[in-house]
Amino acid sequence: MMNTRPVDAVVVGAGFSGIYMLHRLLRAGYSARLFESGSGLGGTWFHNRYPGARCDIESMDYSYSFDENLQQEWRWSERYASQPELLRYLNHVVDRFALREHIELDTAVVGARFDEDTVRWTVTTDLGDEVGARWCLMATGCLTVAQVPDIPGLDTFEGRWFHTGDWPRDGVDFSGNRVGVIGTGSSGTQLIPIVAEQAAHLDVFQRTANFCMPARNHPMPPEVEVHWKAEYPERRAKARISGFGHSQPQNDNRYRDLTPAQRSAELEARWRSGGLYMMRAFADVLTDPEANEATAEFVRAKIRATVHDPEVSELLCPQGFHFGTKRLCSGTNYYETFNRDDVTLVDVSAAPIEEITPTGLRTASAHHPLDMIVFATGFDAMTGSLSRIDIRGADGTSLASKWSGGPVTYLGLAVSGFPNLFLLTGPGSPSVFSNMVNSAEQHVEWIADFLDHAREHDVYRAEATQEAEDGWVAHVGEVAEATLYPRSPNSWFFGANIPGKPRVFMPYVGGVGNYRARADEVASAGYRGFTLLRR
């Protein structure tokens, strides 16, 4: 073990939130180090380099707002940024603000231990380093631990296999190969059309059809960029108090208050403009079953109109869960791809996957010969990255054991029993349910303000109370209960994709603006719900 120079704060993870957290710390005069397990910057964007990977929030919104020169000078080339462009952006930010020398790449944090005597954290890395820090800031991401399902026989497969969330850096050439893709969520729906263009034949193994909106990506029109940049002050302000953390118009009308013609016009307009805005076609899409079903049926009609084979189009029509309660997808030519002769949709809900063989994949009804398998099967979301680090709180309890019944937090930012530790975009905050960059900035700024408060008032120990945590967990649950989410619990929002994971709804769905107001209120009340010890 090497003990290295202690710092005021350790940041874990070099994605959007970790990079900005580091910048804020250094700018405020704290000493800080950032550890990142990947060999480059970007967090989930570093690892998800599968073909077609791009953001489904518009790049002008999905970008930092904290620096006026940065947001004016950076030029996004497309409506939705591709994964390589996002990495270029984050590398630019790191260089622009001279952060690189404070970042250790290829260094995984494996443990963090709070010592009550010194009131400090000791953070341990896989290289054997130990670093002492007053504050431990976990920017470990919500979608970073790739989940490969436990299908018998994978180790016997003689071809190559990949997971979208851990994609080889030198890429994959599918040409001439028989390829199988398992999974039709956001990653699968982006990847499938591109693999179809390259592969000799593609089998798509679908267990649950999801709703996929046409992204309608295009090069950034110069006039849109100029206009948007001129409007940045208002747009960013609007995003901060919005439902989902972006600046696009939402419809505040309820479905039942509109005429049939108005409803159709709204749905058509959103389908034409593309992307995820269908989620706000009506103010009550996620709360009123009738509004929700009308939206779902509108999209099903579009699928039926696109896919020629009626049997295939019926299989692609999502059923059995409410629109948007499985994360909505956004893709390019997704449904059109199933009109190709060299693409087969395999329904593995009717005939489940039984095993992978040396030469392919066997379902209950057939053997599919394959040279390559792509797992687009998702992540151990929201808690996976944290519970894999051995985090020990004030009495030595591990975070993983505290969360064995599901994650509990105060504001998604702090955990009782784990003093001086903050989570960025943790469970119980809007995080995955919002424009992540907006939510990351909000958490970074809240934590930075908290640290300044602690410095000014000689606070050396801060811990969320059990009562505050219980109250927040109850509130997160109540807010979710008022929506359609609990009626469709078969999603990663509930941890349902991970065998044995407790079924708890993890994000805060009360809206970015409401969440921000509550977090600010806690701060203005002198950090109500925290026990603060002063020198």
The nearest distance, CB 257 to ligand N01, in angstroms, is 31
By beta-carbon proximity to ligand N01, the closer residue of 36 and 56 is: 56
Residues 294-353 that bind ligand N01 (CB under 6 A): 327, 330, 348, 353
Q: 338: exposed, middle or buried (C-beta count within 10 Å: 0-12, 13-18, 19+)?
A: buried
Residues 368-387 that bind ligand N01 (CB under 6 A): 376-379
The nearest distance, CB 33 to ligand N01, in angstroms, is 28
Phi then psi for 343, rounded to 5 degrees? -125, 130
By beta-carbon proximity to ligand N01, the closer residue of 8 and 355 is: 355
Report the residue from 140, 184, 332, 420 that binds ligand N01 according to the rule CB under 6 A: 184
- The answer to whether residue 164 forms part of the interface with ligand N01 (CB under 6 A) is yes
The nearest distance, CB 190 to ligand N01, in angstroms, is 6
By beta-carbon proximity to ligand N01, the closer residue of 100 and 503 is: 503
Q: 449: exposed, middle or buried (C-beta count within 10 Å: 0-12, 13-18, 19+)?
A: middle
Residue with tokens 């591709």: 82
By beta-carbon proximity to ligand N01, the closer residue of 82 and 125 is: 82
Q: Which amino acid is at 12?
A: V
| Cβ pair 523, 414 in contact under 8 A | no
By beta-carbon proximity to ligand N01, the closer residue of 333 and 420 is: 333
- The answer to whether residue 188 forms part of the interface with ligand N01 (CB under 6 A) is yes
The SS3 call for residue 527 is: coil
Q: Pick from 267, 240, 272, 271: which is nearest to 253 by CA? A: 267
Site string for ligand N01, 208-247 (x = CB under 6 A): x---------------------------------------
Report the residue from 36, 270, 497, 527 that binds ligand N01 according to the rule CB under 6 A: 497
First-to-last CA distance in the chain? Answer: 31
User: CB count, 10 Å around CB of 149?
Assistant: 15
The nearest distance, CB 321 to ligand N01, in angstroms, is 9
Residue range at the interface with ligand N01 (CB under 6 A); choices 81-89, 119-127, 177-185, 481-489 = 177-185
Per-residue DSSP letters for 333-360? STGGGGGSTTEEEEETTTS-EEEEETTE
The nearest distance, CB 381 to ligand N01, in angstroms, is 7
The nearest distance, CB 153 to ligand N01, in angstroms, is 13
Residues 409-438 that bind ligand N01 (CB under 6 A): 432
How many angstroms separate the CA atoms of 418 and 439, rounded?
22
Residues 15-74 that bind ligand N01 (CB under 6 A): 55-56
SS3 annotation, 28-60: CCCCEEEECCCCCCCCHHHHCCCCCCECCCCCC
Report the residue from 17, 124, 177, 187 that binds ligand N01 according to the rule CB under 6 A: 187
Segment (H or E) for 181: strand 178-182
> How many H-runs (helices) and E-runs (strands) does the chain carry?
15, 20
Q: Name residues whose C-beta falls within 8 Å of residue 52's C-beta, 6 or more positions apart in sequence.
A: 190, 191, 193, 194, 331, 332
By beta-carbon proximity to ligand N01, the closer residue of 183 and 510 is: 183
By beta-carbon proximity to ligand N01, the closer residue of 41 and 112 is: 41
Cα–Cα distances (Å) from 284 to 241, 250, 328, 477, in that order, read 18, 11, 16, 18
The nearest distance, CB 235 to ligand N01, in angstroms, is 20
Segment (H or E) for 464: strand 459-464
* Total of residues contacting ligand N01 (CB under 6 A): 27
Which residue ranges make up the site for ligand N01 (CB under 6 A)?
Answer: 55-56, 143, 149, 164, 182-188, 190, 205, 207-208, 327, 330, 348, 353, 376-379, 432, 492, 497
